[in-house]
């Protein structure tokens, strides 16, 4: 049985991955760059840190990737201030975890202020013991660093933690950390590689709550 829960954010707690996809086109327009191709969007989801910078450099070698990243983060901050929708079952799962004294923490590759604003705007910040962001670790997902740090902040070994993720790299990171890893797919369904790495796959966070309630996690 798990003793703590580590939540990813984008695509897992909040329906933001679709919003992120809409931001690259205005970013490119403003910077005078070719519009993003579908494969740029698909292969870039779940990337952060150096991995994201390398991705930007591969598709847009004509510009410093830091400039692109700064621009798209600015657009995201403006858009997310308007509010982002919660994924189904988030509040029900958080209430269940609170009622059963299971500590929670957020571990997301997004900037800290963006994470904290999303939590505050959706009135869920009080459920979490803290936040770990991409800037807190040297290596981003699929390296396990962010989940190992999150587990330490909960005072638990990673093996006693449940990691909830929607992305391939997030599942890879949870598995590498040795955590119980559950995938709740958002825009991408698991392939054969990912199916070998997670503990189970759930349709939504309500199903995660049911598995916990039934003692199956």
Final residue belonging to a domain, choices 26, 60, 80? 80
| Domain that residue 75 falls in | 17-80
Residues 194 and 129 in one domain: yes
Is residue 136 part of the annotated active site? The answer reads no
Confidence band, pLDDT 50/70/90 cuts, at residue 49: confident
Residues 97 and 116 in one domain: yes
Is residue 10 part of the annotated active site? The answer reads yes
Residues 68 and 112 in one domain: no
Q: How far apart are CA 212 and CA 199, in angstroms?
A: 13
Residues 50 and 154 in one domain: no
Q: How far apart are CA 202 and CA 164, in angstroms?
A: 10
Q: What confidence tens digit (pLDDT) does each residue in 161-178 have?
A: 999 999 999 999 999 999
Q: How far apart are CA 188 and CA 47, in angstroms?
A: 14
Residue 126, phi then psi, degrees to nearest 5: -70, -15
CATH number of the domain that residue 113 is part of: 3.40.50.1000
To which residue do tokens 């519009």 refer?
A: 35
Residues 10 and 21 in one domain: no
Considering the chain, what is the average pLDDT of its residues?
95
CATH number of the domain that residue 58 is part of: 1.10.150
Q: Which of 8, 145, 166, 186 is catalytic?
A: 8
Residues 109 and 9 in one domain: yes
Q: How far apart are CA 162 and CA 98, in angstroms?
A: 15
Residues 207 and 106 in one domain: yes
Indicate if the pLDDT at residue 46 is higher than 80: no
State the total domains in the chain.
Answer: 2
Res 172: pLDDT: 96
Q: What confidence tens digit (pLDDT) does each residue in 175-203 have?
A: 999 999 999 999 889 999 999 999 999 99
Confidence band, pLDDT 50/70/90 cuts, at residue 47: confident
Final residue belonging to a domain, choices 80, 101, 124? 80
Indicate if the pLDDT at residue 144 is higher than 90: yes
Between 46 and 181, where is the model more confident? 181
Residues 102 and 196 in one domain: yes
pTM exceeds 0.85 = yes
Residues 25 and 91 in one domain: no
Final residue belonging to a domain, choices 63, 80, 97? 80
Percent of the chain past pLDDT 70, that is, above it, reads: 100
Residues 170 and 113 in one domain: yes
Q: How far apart are CA 113 and CA 119, in angstroms?
A: 10
Q: Which of 38-52, 118-132, 144-158, 188-202 is least confident? A: 38-52
* Close Cβ partners of 150 (under 8 Å, ≥ 6 residues apart): 6, 105, 106, 107, 132, 161
Q: What confidence tens digit (pLDDT) does each residue in 82-135 have?
A: 889 999 999 999 999 999 999 999 999 998 999 999 999 999 999 999 999 999
Residues 62 and 125 in one domain: no
């Amino acid at each position: 049985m798990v003793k703590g829960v580590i939540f990813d954010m984008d695509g897992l707690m909040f329906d933001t991955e679709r919003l992120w996809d809409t931001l690259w086109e205005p970013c490119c327009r403003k910077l005078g760059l070719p519009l993003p191709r579908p494969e740029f969007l698909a292969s870039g989801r779940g990337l952060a840190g150096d991995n994201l910078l390398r991705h930007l450099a591969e598709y847009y070698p004509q510009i410093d990737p830091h400039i692109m990243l700064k621009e798209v983060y600015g657009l995201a901050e403006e858009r997310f201030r308007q509010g982002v929708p919660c994924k189904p079952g988030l509040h029900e799962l958080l209430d269940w975890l609170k009622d059963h004294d299971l500590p929670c923490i957020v571990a997301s590759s997004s900037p800290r202020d963006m994470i904290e604003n999303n939590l505050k705007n959706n009135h869920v910040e009080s459920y979490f013991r803290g936040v770990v962001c991409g800037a807190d670790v040297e290596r981003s997902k699929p390296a396990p660093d962010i989940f190992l740090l999150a587990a330490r902040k909960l005072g638990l070994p990673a093996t006693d933690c449940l990691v909830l993720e929607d992305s391939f790299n997030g599942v890879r990171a949870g598995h590498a950390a040795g955590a119980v890893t559950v995938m709740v797919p958002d825009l991408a369904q698991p392939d054969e590689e990912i199916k070998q790495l997670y503990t189970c796959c759930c349709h939504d966070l309500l199903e995660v709550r049911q598995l916990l309630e039934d003692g199956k996690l």
